[in-house]
Copies of this chain bind each other. A is one copy, B any other.
Amino acid sequence: MRTVTTQQPARGSRARGTRQAQALAAALGSMPGFTSAQEIHAELRRKGEQVGLTTVYRHLQALSEAGDVDAIRDDNGEILYRRCETTAHHHHLTCRSCGRSVEVEGKAVEQWSERVATEAGFTEVGHTVELFGLCPDCGS
């Protein structure tokens, strides 16, 4: 085997300091709204970053489980990701046209779901709430 001529960066802690992880984080941050794993992967390649699709999926999944990114499903069943701005529980108002999204609080919804569930005798209630519409720019 040939000698390795140059060693790439990535000094320091491995998991988070990985070249791929950093590139992914950067890409995520540069996206205004929700984007699919595939799109993120494409964006990375466009930027010249070389990251495998598998790695993109793996990191997004990990980030999602860790609560560092939000994940929702669009109508086609694709999973869309977005970097979280707050760690508190929240929902999204997403533009159908451009994908831009706003995080919204949902106190009213939380209370409503609690009440409804209790009335029906349900426990350990969770909920999925997503809003879609046209943002000011795309609206007309």
Contact = CB atoms under 8 A, between A and B. Distances in A.
B102 A123 contact: no
Given A73-B73, A130-B127, A131-B113, A122 B139 contact: yes
Interface residues of A, number: 34
A39 to B, nearest CB: 17
B126 A132 contact: yes
A121 B109 contact: no
Nearest to A137: B121
A108 B112 contact: yes
A12 B7 CA distance: 69
6 contacts: A102-B122, A124-B133, A124-B134, A125-B133, A127-B129, A128-B132
